[in-house]
Chains A and B, each alone.
Chain A
Amino acid sequence: MEILDSGLLQRALLEVVVVGATCGALGVWLLHLHHTYAAESLAHAMLPGLVVAALVGAPLLLGATGGVLAAAALIALAARDTRVGAEVAVGVTVTTAFGLGALLALAPDVPARLGELLFGDLLGTNTTDLLVAGGLAGLVALALVAGHRPLSAAVFDPLAAPSLGVRPGRVELALLALLALAIVAAVQALGNLLVLALIVAPASAGIRLGRSVGGQIALAAGVGALSGLLGLVASAELDVAAGASVALAAIALYVLATLVRPPGPRATGPRRSLVETLSG
């Protein structure tokens, strides 16, 4: 296939496959812990960090890191507001941060890069981006392997977890830290809006199809990587936006998974909100 002859596309392919597999695997735990809203909040509220990095010409990675940290701090702070309720406070905070980011990005004397920040610049992936994303992805993967048992206990039985030597609150905070790493790794490729597709859709497909937790994670990672491959090929062949194609491929694979296996038992048991987790 001619797509593989171009260095540009090779790097993009490698990047999106690595990022897709990582986000897919991580997403399984986020979905089991009902943290989809957390993923969305963190990803969206980091926009000001990205924009400021673009404004001052700093590396996107730096902006993403700062943006995620600031977003987490703001969300944790907003969650303490008992007057309107934590979920509302977080919703307002996230929207404010996103709006602030858009306002900065749309100022007249700013290079027009808002689209890139929101939707990613997969084809702009350079070797440094690739190495950084690979490193972060490796870190997330290692942490997921090491944390498999504590995560299982925290999901299955948060009430009994402490007597099993597991602190569910800390486990969830660690998972959110991994989420932040994965978002930082993926934002170059997919932008802070589309990254959510790779965290939620492959994981949903994996959870639908897998019969064990390990199976679900392996399937989600596979679906994530496949989404990257299919999306990138489609975007090259049809000459459409790369990030959006990847996101749509992930959604299409999820829909396929629901057709193969219709919905299972509903999620039950206690759930903690992002707010409860961040406020300890």
Chain B
Amino acid sequence: MNASAVTADAGAARVEVAGLAAAYGSGDVAVRDVTFTAAGGEAVAVLGPNGGGKTTLFRALLGELPATTGSARAHGTIAYVPQTERSRLDFPVSALDVALMGAYARTPWYRRIAGADRTLARAALQRVGLAERAGTRFGALSGGQRQRALIARALVQDAGIVLLDEPFAGVDRSSEEAVMSILDELRAEGRVLLIATHDIEQARRWDQVLCLSTTQVAYGPPAQTLTTTVLESTYGAEIVVIDGGERAIAVQHHSHSHSS
């Protein structure tokens, strides 16, 4: 089987979020008033500061956090690609093992992973450029390679909707381009991509931008959405506008919040 065997399950993939509010056990509302729709083939940057509700939105879409009001619906198989810096580097699994995890949900506990799924996992690794690294320990891969292994897992899941949490954090320049071109391919296949980022320049690259600062500040194409006013509301005083208003940079205070 060649690499093109790994393709999207649907052009019907769709994300619908309507009036969503979600809270953690502590009762503090983590995100509220979020309303947007993303159809297959759209890549949405989810932009906002740490604690702005990016991860909370993802968890609501994954069904891990119930909506207190409104709804977050994912039509299609959903995959989550975590920050590579948060994964376990000491756990002895190979890149291939990680890709094979994409077949866990459809493998009954009493069966071995099907031969077809093994072929699929190898094809997915080839597609993200890790065919030669299949046997390498995940912890021994570079940040960019780890990111690609996790994307290969999403491919094996055959996910129509892919949620990526800061996919360019801890990724070197050359891998960044590789990851970027894979994401472009995934989008072209009709998948929905939601890309959490706090990088405004990064956000400009995608079809839509959702600005979150606990509440939804704006949603729309980057050219119309990423105005100085919107960015100031998203980041508060942390925003620095340079080049006479052409570019804006968010100054991040790295609190190690897990609810960012």
Residues of chain A whose beta carbon lies under 8 Å from any beta carbon of chain B: 32, 146-147, 149-150, 152-153, 155-157, 159-160, 162-166, 210-213, 215-216, 264-270
Contact = CB atoms under 8 A, between A and B. Distances in A.
Contact of A210 (B92, B110, B157): B92
A150 B93 CA distance: 14
B86 A163 contact: no
Nearest to B104: A164
A266 B110 CA distance: 33
Contacts, number: 88
Contact of B157 (A157, A159, A163, A212): A163
A164 B97 CA distance: 13
Interface of B: 62-64, 78-82, 86-94, 97-98, 101-102, 104-107, 109-110, 137-139, 150, 153, 157, 159, 258
Residue among A156, A162, A265 with max Cβ neighbours from chain B (10 Å): A156
B64 A162 contact: yes
A156 B88 contact: yes
Residue among B79, B105, B107, B150 with max Cβ neighbours from chain A (10 Å): B105
A152 B92 contact: no
A267 B92 contact: no
Nearest to A279: B25
Nearest to A159: B82
Residue among A146, A163, A264 with max Cβ neighbours from chain B (10 Å): A163
A164 B102 contact: yes
Nearest to B81: A160
Residue among A149, A155, A264 with max Cβ neighbours from chain B (10 Å): A149
Contacts of B104: 149-150, 153, 164-166
B101 A265 contact: no
A269 B92 contact: no
Contacts of B86: 159, 268-270
A163 B63 CA distance: 9
A11 B12 CA distance: 64
Nearest to A147: B109
B88 A146 contact: no
Contacts of B94: 212
B79 to A, nearest CB: 6
Contacts of B157: 163-164
B144 to A, nearest CB: 18
25 contacts: A146-B109, A149-B109, A150-B104, A153-B101, A156-B87, A157-B101, A159-B80, A160-B80, A160-B153, A162-B63, A163-B80, A163-B157, A164-B101, A164-B102, A164-B105, A165-B105, A210-B92, A211-B92, A212-B92, A216-B92, A268-B87, A268-B88, A268-B90, A270-B86, A270-B258
A246 to B, nearest CB: 27
A55 B198 CA distance: 64
Nearest to A268: B89
A213 B62 contact: no
Contact of A269 (B88, B98, B102, B109): B88
B19 to A, nearest CB: 23
Contacts of B153: 160
Contacts of B159: 163
Contacts of A146: 109-110
Residue among A152, A216, A266 with max Cβ neighbours from chain B (10 Å): A152
A163 B258 CA distance: 19
Contacts of B97: 152
B91 A213 contact: yes
A123 to B, nearest CB: 38
Given A265-B89, A265-B90, A268-B90, A160 B109 contact: no
A268 B256 CA distance: 14
A216 to B, nearest CB: 7
Contacts of A163: 62, 78-80, 105, 157, 159
B244 to A, nearest CB: 41
7 smallest A-B Cβ distances: which pairs? A165-B105, A269-B88, A160-B80, A164-B104, A163-B80, A265-B90, A159-B82
A152 B92 CA distance: 10
A83 to B, nearest CB: 15
A264 B62 contact: no
Nearest to B102: A164
B241 to A, nearest CB: 34
Nearest to B109: A146
Contact of A156 (B93, B102, B107): B93
A149 B107 contact: yes
Residue among B79, B91, B102, B159 with max Cβ neighbours from chain A (10 Å): B91
Contacts of B93: 152, 156, 212-213
A271 to B, nearest CB: 10
A264 B92 CA distance: 11
